Amino acid sequence: MNEKNHATNIEDTSTQESHNEDLKTKELDVSSTKELEDKIKALKKDLDTANKSTLMALADLENIKKRAEKRIIENHKYSLKSFIEALLPVLDSMEKATLFNAQSSESIAIQEGIKMTSKNFSGIIDKFGVREINPINELFDPEKHEAVSMLSDNNMDNGMVSKVLQKGYEINGRIVRAARVIVTQNN
């Protein structure tokens, strides 16, 4: 019987050891599961942070792109402004030449040529968005007009432009040159 008891003891010890290992494995599994869950939570948090950062970077990139497109459009619209400013005295001179009272047939022909050239010139700058400001009989607007003088005229209301000394011009709504005018001021 000793052998039987010994065999039973060995079996019991083996079973006990197996049971202890199962408990250790379960404890490891529980602690490993807890650790894994914590790691998963941490990784999810990191992923959320990375996603938010990515979305913010994409939004910033989109804003930069929109600002750049807007600048390009603005630069395109107003790139001609300084060029037009430089050409306006030429247009003014041509318009003044057309007012000259020509006497001879030769001077009349020259004046007609100047009128056609002036008209063509005005047509070309008009195609590029340049608009004439000729405010005769309009209310004085300090944004578009430069008052050179005041004049009493009982036929006009106060603040009306009675005479334009020099036409103004604007390009795409931006003033290139204000119109120089005389404004009515009645006492």
> Is the residue at 72 inside a domain?
no
- Digit-coded pLDDT (tens) for 162-174: 999 999 999 988 8
User: Is-contact 111 97, C-beta < 8 A?
Assistant: yes
Q: Beta-carbon neighbour count of residue 163 at 10 Å? A: 15
The residues pairing with 137 across neighbouring beta strands, listed in sequence order, are none
Residue 181's contacts (CB-CB under 8 Å, 6 or more residues apart) are 135, 140, 145, 146, 147, 148, 161, 162, 163, 164, 165
Q: For residue 140, what are the domain limits?
A: 80-184
Find the CATH number of the domain harbouring 101: 2.30.22.10
> Is the residue at 52 inside a domain?
no
Where is pLDDT greater, at 80 or 139?
139
Q: Which residue has the tokens 């036929």?
A: 155
Flag whether pLDDT at 10 surpasses 80.
Answer: no
Side chain identity, residue 45: K
**Element housing 135 (H / E):** none
Q: How many domains does the chain have?
A: 1
User: What one-character DSSP code corresponds to residue 130?
Assistant: E
Where is pLDDT greater, at 176 or 153?
176
d(CA 67, CA 54): 20
Q: Beta-carbon neighbour count of residue 178 at 10 Å? A: 20
> Is the residue at 125 inside a domain?
yes
- Digit-coded pLDDT (tens) for 38-89: 889 999 999 999 999 999 999 999 999 999 999 988 887 778 888 898 999 9
> Is the residue at 107 inside a domain?
yes
- pLDDT at position 170: 94
> Is the residue at 89 inside a domain?
yes
Confidence of residue 28 (pLDDT cuts 50, 70, 90): low
> Is the residue at 166 inside a domain?
yes
> Is the residue at 6 inside a domain?
no
- Digit-coded pLDDT (tens) for 106-123: 888 888 999 999 999 999
The pTM score is 0.60
> Is the residue at 11 inside a domain?
no
